[in-house]
Amino acid sequence: MTSAPAVSTVQPIQWLGDRLRLLDQRALPREERYLDCRSAEEVAAAIRGMAVRGAPAIGIVAAYGVVLAVRESPSSFELASSVLEASRPTAVNLRWALARLRSLWMGGADAAALEAEARRIHAEDLAQNLHMAELGAELLPEKATVLTHCNTGALATGGHGTALGVIRTAYAQGRVAQVYHTETRPWLQGARLTAWELQREGIPARLVADGAAAHLMKRQRIDWVIVGADRIAANGDTANKIGTYMLAVAARQHGVKFMVVAPSGTFDPDCPYGEAIPIEEREPRELTEFRGEKVAPEGQDAYNPVFDVTPAELIDAIVCERGVIEKPSARKIAALLAG
């Protein structure tokens, strides 16, 4: 078996010292366009506006956003942290990265020390992704057919990816023969971003409508559904992109295994169960319009949660850089995180 590439060719986050350069994911796959952020407010706007997305990536860029703010004004740490923390309330990696910088700041660290920590968070995420990919790939049978949701590759992380990282590594090892991936409405992260990454890697993939997933599982052998996570509660309940819960229910009905892949920073030990996870709701126009053109009648209201929670009992394995938790529970998660 061949080994996985050390790093994906996709580099969506680039720290240039005086600014943070982000690949604007809203323009993909039509255009590779970059944004240069020079303040915490610009970084927060990029997060809110979905130019950068994916829980690990959000945590990384938020850390750099704090560095930009403190370089401009040392007294701006708390304000910048508050602005960044409010940009995406569901992703716990954001809070976790800001807490790491706050701990240093309270201990007297200067802007240079904060920059070193932000760089460390970025590098650690890549290393974690590569290790998780190896662990997750070991769970797959030879020539597996897998289904994934949203985008969990290099675009959503510090490099390589979480769920898509497992798929990338497993394909390099000869363990994956076919990938199916959903559109992931309403932002179409699967159709636009996952397709773009898989094509760049030469991995055979087929796009399916979100609503076709259960039919696919009924008609075609699917070995694993592999997804990422934005927050994992202490008991293993997992918040991820809207539509994940639906996939987990369909997978259980059809005997398909379900894997969550996320770094340990995605666990929230202070959140006891899924119902306590805040679920972000976005503007109705994201459903009633597409690329600025109305697709619903004028005045149509919409319910637009962008995450849902998959109960732990529907998850066969959670993979993080510390190990694999099969049939996750509060006891197993606490033991792994304490180790």
> In this structure, how many other beta carbons lie within 10 angstroms of the beta carbon of residue 331?
9
User: Residue type for 312, please?
Assistant: A
Cis peptide before 29 (omega within 30 of 0): yes
> In this structure, how many other beta carbons lie within 10 angstroms of the beta carbon of residue 259?
23
Q: How far apart are CA 188 and CA 146, in angstroms?
A: 19
Backbone angles phi and psi of 299, in degrees to 5? 90, 0
Query: Following DSSP, what letter does each residue of 17-83 receive, concatenated?
Result: SS-EEEE-TTSTTT---EEEE-SHHHHHHHHHTTSS-SHHHHHHHHHHHHHHHHHH-GGGHHHHHHH
Torsion of CA 326, 327, 330, 335, to 10 degrees: -20
268 among known catalytic residues: no
Which is catalytic among the residues 125, 210, 230, 308?
230
Orientation of helix 163-172 relative to helix 111-137, angle to 10°: 50
User: Residue type for 18, please?
Assistant: D
Place of tokens 């990384």: 60
- What is the DSSP pairing of strand 317-320 with strand 257-261? parallel
| Structural contact between residues 129 and 159, judged by C-beta atoms closer than 8 angstroms | yes
> In this structure, how many other beta carbons lie within 10 angstroms of the beta carbon of residue 143?
11
> In this structure, how many other beta carbons lie within 10 angstroms of the beta carbon of residue 256?
22
Q: How far apart are CA 199 and CA 181, in angstroms?
A: 12
Q: How far apart are CA 108 and CA 131, in angstroms?
A: 33
Beta-bridge partners for 241? 307
Catalytic residue ranges: 230
